[in-house]
């Protein structure tokens, strides 16, 4: 069965479930830690079907991601010496990880914000933050801001576009991500120039 069909079936079950909010929190946790499927595939149809819970869905997705971020940070912090090489070999190359590590040490907050918005696996930011022992409060602040922009941004689109939201998101997602990422990069650059 195609992945798209499975996602639609799971979304349909989630829409009708009394455990919908717990389900989206778990899905967000899994997406931020181990499942490489973008949560938008489930969230947008769910938000359209359950508009009365639109803001709660965005909030619970953000909370799930934060819990996942803490988990990923802890893995990097406590277990990197043991499983780090396997993680590097599985998710990226040694050179990519060294580059990420350098970015984390020099501009961690902005780096986490950028990875939290851009369509890059967030696991990179979590593991690097933990492995470099980057400030946990700053890591969590950047995670909350980035993921709130992502999930509440979807909620705003659904709120205003209704049933056309899915089409609009598919059509303009890449452009929106590029614009938001460029804004974050501009703020990052300004903070380094002015700071």
Q: What is the pTM of this model?
A: 0.79
Report how many domains make up the chain: 1
Q: What is the model's pLDDT at position 1?
A: 47
Could you report the per-residue pLDDT of 47-94, keeping only the tens digit for each?
888 889 899 999 999 999 999 999 989 988 888 878 777 777 776 677
- From residue 110, alpha-carbon distances to 69, 96, 125, 140 in Å are 16, 18, 11, 12
Q: What is the model's pLDDT at position 139?
A: 94
Q: What is the model's pLDDT at position 192?
A: 66
* Segments of the chain with pLDDT less than 50: 1
Q: What is the model's pLDDT at position 56?
A: 94
Rounded to 10 degrees, the C-alpha dihedral 38/41/44/47 comes to -100
Containing structural domain, residue 119: 3-194
């Amino acid at each position: 069965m195609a992945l798209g069909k499975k996602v639609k079936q799971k979304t349909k079950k989630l829409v009708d479930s009394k455990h919908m909010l717990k389900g989206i929190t778990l899905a967000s946790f899994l997406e931020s830690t181990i499942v490489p499927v973008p949560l938008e595939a489930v969230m947008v149809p769910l938000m359209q079907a359950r508009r009365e819970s639109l803001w709660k869905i965005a909030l619970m997705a953000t909370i799930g991601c934060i819990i996942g971020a803490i988990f990923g940070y802890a893995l990097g912090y406590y277990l990197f010496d043991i499983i780090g090489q396997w993680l590097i070999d599985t998710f990226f190359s040694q050179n990519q990880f060294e580059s990420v590590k350098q970015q984390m040490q020099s501009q961690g907050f902005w780096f986490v914000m950028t990875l939290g918005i851009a369509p890059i696996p967030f696991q990179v930011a979590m593991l690097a933050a933990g492995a470099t022992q980057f400030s946990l409060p700053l890591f969590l602040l950047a995670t909350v801001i980035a993921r709130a922009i992502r999930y509440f941004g979807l909620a705003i689109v659904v709120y205003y576009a209704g049933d056309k939201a899915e089409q609009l998101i598919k059509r303009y997602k890449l452009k929106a991500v590029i614009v938001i990422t460029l804004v974050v990069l501009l703020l990052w650059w300004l903070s380094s120039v002015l700071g």
